[in-house]
Amino acid sequence: MKIKGDFVTNSSSTAFYFAFKGGEPDHLLRAIFNHYKHFTLSAVWDTSVSCNASDVVEHIEHLLSVSERTDVEARDEYYYDDYVAIRTIAELRAELEKDVESFKKYQDDGDDYMKHYVRRIKQQIQTLKTATENGFTHCTKVSFGDSEGHVMGDVGRALDSNGSSMDLTEDDLIVFTRNQH
């Protein structure tokens, strides 16, 4: 549950990090299609809420096209605090390393949840180091959720509800998640 301003919500989202070889959107989209079975999902609480690789690709392709536009209306279309863009793995690693540093004080206070959270981020940093050694060069982050995130609706709900179990390592695609509940 989140407290937003003056109200409480049970909305949730999961950030999916996609690492891939090459810096073009087509490289990412092709890699997702190559592993379509991993993206054919139903929400754990309702099998009628589902998605497939085509749905995921369609949303990511649209989000990447919106992030390339400079007009404010196009970027506000998804009303989210960050925009989907392809960036280098080195940039993501630096961001995750900053997160580890910022959470360190909570971890040092004995907070078990934060210890687990920081340990998970450190594992993701290691995954990205290994990915770089294996020729992965770029990544993007997309948040899927029930009523918040870059992608909402059935596709967002299906991916969000499966997010904690999505750790994919293939020759051309690595996917890991971060819960944003």
The number of distinct structural domains making up the chain is: 1
Tokens linked to 25: 């959107």
CA distance readout (Å), 108 to 101, 118, 133: 11, 11, 31
Structure-block tokens of residue 157? 């709900």
The CB-side HSE value for 61 (13 A sphere, CA atoms) comes to: 13
Whose structure tokens read 């990412």? Answer: 28
pLDDT in tens, 88-118: 999 999 999 998 888 877 766 766 777 888 8
What's this model's pTM, rounded to 2 decimal places? 0.83
User: For the chain, where are the alpha helices, taking DSSP H only?
Assistant: 25-34, 53-68, 72-76, 89-108, 112-133, 153-162
Higher per-residue confidence, 82 vs 132: 132
Tokens of 37: 């079975």
Report the first-to-last Cα separation within the chain, whole angstroms.
7
Range of the domain at 173: 2-179
Alpha-carbon torsion, ordered 44, 49, 51, 55, to 10 deg: -140
Q: Is the pLDDT of residue 156 over 50?
A: yes
Query: What pLDDT digit, counting tens, does each position of 11-52 carry?
Result: 578 889 999 999 999 999 999 999 999 999 988 888 889 999
Q: For the residues 111-131, what does the mean pLDDT come to?
A: 88
Share of the chain above pLDDT 70, in %: 81
Can you tell me the distance from the alpha carbon of 50 to that of 40, in angstroms, rounded to the nearest whole number? 7
The residue behind tokens 């993701």 is 124
Could you give the CA distance from residue 51 to residue 156 in angstroms, rounded to a whole number? 9
Length of the chain: 181
Only one residue has tokens 């294996």, namely 134
What is the distance between the alpha carbons of residues 132 and 109, in angstroms, rounded to a whole number?
33
Structure tokens given for 181:
């509940």
Cross-strand partners of 46? 43
